[in-house]
Amino acid sequence: MPAHLGEVQIRNRRYRPWVEIVGVMWLVLFLFLTMFWQGVAGSHRLRAYPLVACLLLGAGYCLRMWMLVLDLTERPLLSRRETARAVWNWLFHRVRPDNPRRVRVRIALTLFGWLAPRRISVAALKLGDTVEFDSRVPVPVRSVTRVVFTPDPAEDYAESEVPVHLCQAFIELESEKRFELLLDETDAARLRDWALAKGITICDCDGYAPRKFETTSEA
């Protein structure tokens, strides 16, 4: 990526945040049903069950998002052996770790990391010294292992009067998670230039071939 481009932004042309939408809808629906149940249930014990279930549902959804943020931003993690030694010394020898936060993060991800989604669909990404789908959650470039391009399997442009060629792009991370995007030609070239500038491996799969043209920065 030429130095004058600086940070660039790429936009997902097929952003469908179904998980987030369904999660919020279920939470709102459950809250409504809980309030309704409080009005019709006669027993105090019966009234308590929906409240507990609602709290568990909300806690599970928040925990899922928290695990995703930790997994993306706290790399590299301590190894299991290093974590076990630090916990042993902390509990039995009263020796505090040099970085207790890293130990806590490793324990949390070991216990609950499976809740975090592996495939992350985002509306847009900002590419620079970090990868950002949210300014509060910068993902270090060192966490990116590979950028993969493939043809658009749905061929959204096939029947368009003015064809806009699209491709799928996957930004793979060392945590075995990946950002999934559908890009137009311009954004695909921006992503490729950025990856080349950062020394990230690029893989063109399933017969995909990049189209040659000049790219420009996007505000």
Alpha helix segments (H runs only) across 114-207: 185-197
pTM: 0.73
Give the residue among 180, 71, 200, 70 at the shortest CA–CA distance from 129. 200
Predicted local distance difference test score (pLDDT) of residue 25 = 73
Among candidate residues 171, 166, 169, 173, the one with its CA nearest the CA of residue 211: 166
Measured distance CA(166)–CA(158) in Å, rounded: 10
DSSP H/E element including 172: strand 166-173
Can you tell me the distance from the alpha carbon of 125 to that of 135, in angstroms, rounded to the nearest whole number?
10
Write out the two tokens for 172: 């793979």
In eight-state DSSP terms, residue 79 is: P
Answer yes or no: are the C-beta atoms of 147 and 169 closer than 8 Å. Answer: yes
Q: What is the C-alpha radius of gyration for the chain, rounded to an integer number of angstroms?
A: 22
Alpha helix (H) ranges present in 93-214? 100-112, 185-197
Give the residue carrying structure tokens 């790219």. 215
Tens of pLDDT, residue by residue over 152-178, are 776 555 454 545 578 899 999 988 899
| 3-14+123-204 maps to CATH 2.30.29.30 | yes
| DSSP code for 210 | P
pLDDT score of 189: 92
Q: What tens digit of pLDDT does each residue of 102-114 get?
A: 999 999 999 999 9
Ranges of the chain with pLDDT below 50? 1-4, 158, 160, 162, 215-219
Return the pLDDT at 16.
64
Q: What secondary structure, in 3-state letters, does 8-48 show?
A: EEEECCCCCCHHHHHHHHHHHHHHHHHHHHHHHCCCHHHHH
Domain locations in the chain as residue ranges: 3-14+123-204, 18-115
AA identity, residue 27: L
Under DSSP, the state recorded for 76 is S
